[in-house]
Amino acid sequence: MHSDARYSQLVTLNWILIVLVLMLGTWLVWKEVGPELADQVEQRRVVPLQPPGGVRRDGSRPVVRPPATPRSELSPEERSTTELFRQAAPSVVHITTHQVQRDFFNLNVQEIPQGTGSGFVWDKEGHIVTNYHVIHGADTARVAFYDQSSYPATLVGAAPESDLAVLKVNAPPDKLHPLPLGTSEDLEVGLSVYAIGNPFGLDHTLTTGVISALGREIRSATGRPIKDMIQTDAAINPGNSGGPLLDSAGRLIGVNTAIYSPSGAFSGIGFAIPVDTVRWIVPELIAYGRVTRPRLALAVAPDRVTQQLGISGVLILQVTPGTPAAEAGLRPTRRTRDGNIILGDVIVAIDGEKVETYNDLLAILDKRKVGDVVTVTVLRDGQQHNVQVPLQASE
CB 158 within 8 A of CB 138: no
Residue 26: pLDDT over 80: no
**How many percent of the chain have pLDDT more than 90?**
38
Whether 241 sits among the annotated catalytic residues: the reply is yes
Question: One-letter amino acid identity for 73?
Answer: E
Among 91, 118, 127, 133, the active-site one is 133
Distances (CA, A) of 269 to 10, 224, 229: 106, 21, 12
Q: Which of 91, 94, 162, 163 is catalytic?
A: 163
Residues in the chain, how many? 395
104 vs 107: CA distance, rounded Å: 6
Residue 71 burial (10 A CB sphere; 0-12, 13-18, 19+): exposed
Cβ atoms of 89 and 196 closer than 8 Å: yes
Which regions of the chain carry the CATH code 2.30.42.10?
294-393
Q: Is residue 163 flagged as an active site residue?
A: yes
18-27, 50-59, 358-367, 369-378: least confident range:
50-59
Q: Which CATH superfamily hosts domain 294-393?
A: PDZ domain (2.30.42.10)
Pick the CATH number of 192-288 from 3.30.230.10, 2.40.50.840, 2.40.10.10, 2.20.140.10: 2.40.10.10
Q: What's the pLDDT score for residue 109?
A: 47
Fold of the CATH domain 76-175: Thrombin, subunit H (2.40.10)
Residue 177 has pLDDT above 60, yes or no: yes
Spatial distance between the Cα atoms of 372 and 383, rounded to a whole number of angstroms:
25
Please answer whether residues 269 and 212 qualify as being in contact, where contact means their C-beta atoms are separated by less than 8 angstroms. yes
Distances (CA, A) of 24 to 15, 27, 230: 14, 5, 100
Q: How far is CA 198 from CA 96, 98, 241, 265, 274, in A?
A: 11, 17, 8, 14, 20
Query: Is 238 within 8 Å of 219 (Cβ atoms)?
Result: no
Task: List the catalytic residue out of 241, 247, 345, 360.
Answer: 241
What three-state secondary structure class fits 133?
A: helix
Look at residue 177 and give its three-state secondary structure: coil
Q: Which part of the chain is CATH 2.40.10.10? A: 76-175, 192-288
Give the pLDDT confidence of 211-250 residue by residue, as tens digits.
999 988 888 777 777 878 999 988 888 788 899 999 999 9
pLDDT band at 348 (very low <50, low <70, confident <90, very high): very high
Catalytic residue flag (residue 312)? no
